[in-house]
Amino acid sequence: MGSTSLAVGRGEVFGFLGPNGAGKTTTISILCTLVRKTAGEAYVAGTEVDRDPSEVRRRIGLVFQDPSLDDQLTARENLELHGQIYGVPSALRKQRIDELLQVVELADRASSQVRTFSGGMKRRLEIARGVLHHPQVLFLDEPTLGLDPQTRKHIWSYLQDVRKREGITLFMTTHYMDEAEFCDRIAIIDHGKIVALGSPSELKAKVGGDVVTVTTGDSRATAMEIAERFGMTALVDNGSLRIEVPDGAAFLPRLVRELTVPVQTVALSRPSLDDVFLKLTGHAIRSEGSDFDKAMMRNMGRIMGRGPRR
């Protein structure tokens, strides 16, 4: 990422946002010791990732985008296996498993095979597994992808609870803008560079004023007319046009009245993180498959098999 510097504070919930090819997968892969960086320095929990990767692995937890549990094992057996791999002492391991099953509300299903679990239950178990060995940083790759809105909300409730209980730092990727609202700070990365960094409210302040969204039968012609007639730039977003204006209530009637292109729909809203992303990158964020997840799965044996024991 060139000379760009990035620091995430202890106990922070940090979100990493960017489209395919932006560089966030590479960045996280470097932080998780999967890829060696070509320049600069990268530290995780005070340890330089290339100088002591084993120590970094000991200090991090991982929650993959795709399911990575053994669905033939029970919930307890999955956690037991993870604890053994990370060398958590037997007595402490049992205590931690009991405690975390309570935290994610799976104590009553501890002896059930994971194959009988819903997607939300599996994700909760993966969160418990990710923090079982007392990591200082928990990396989450699209932690609620594919879950319904209610389950996503519950998952974030568990994550916030785990964060407070464990004093852990959460570093996540997501393309859900509403999910990014849970972050203390967000970095937007595009074409290998961080184009914005700040809290959700700070980033939305970059847009300012109001956002008018208009749909017509010809977005290109409408954008040209808006530029000529009003001196404003309209950004195309999935067939609609978004316009930043200081006073939406005053501008909207004028827009509808003066446009020569027939207006199909029009809406007025306060700036959202979608608007921020669109303004800064020129395109809407897209749902993406996780190269990071695939890389992590390929290297799972290496990470766990060579990690230091406690």
Summarize pLDDT for 49-58 with one digit per residue, the tens.
Answer: 999 999 999 9
Same domain, residue pair 180 and 213: no
The whole domain housing 251 covers 209-270
Give a yes or no: residue 1 inside a domain.
Answer: no
Q: Are residues 28 and 169 in the same domain?
A: yes
Query: Same domain, yes or no, for 175 and 117?
Result: yes
> 26 and 34 in contact (C-beta within 8 Å)?
no
In a domain, 42, yes or no: yes
- Confirm whether 47 is domain-assigned: yes
Tell me the C-alpha to C-alpha distance, in Å, between residue 297 and each of 120, 151, 180.
Answer: 20, 25, 25
How many Cβ atoms from other residues are within 10 Å of residue 129's Cβ? 23
State residue 280's pLDDT score: 80
* Shared-domain flag, residues 247 and 115: no
For tokens 């669109």, what's the residue?
Answer: 278
User: In what order do the strands lie in the sheet containing 193-198?
Assistant: 60-63, 137-141, 169-173, 13-17, 185-190, 193-198
Q: What is the CATH number of the domain that holds 239?
A: 3.30.70.790
Domain count, the chain: 2
pLDDT of residue 180: 85
65 and 135 in a single domain? The answer is yes
**What is the pLDDT at residue 304?**
42
**Which ranges of the chain have pLDDT less than 50?**
1-3, 287-310
State the CATH number of the domain containing residue 139.
Answer: 3.40.50.300
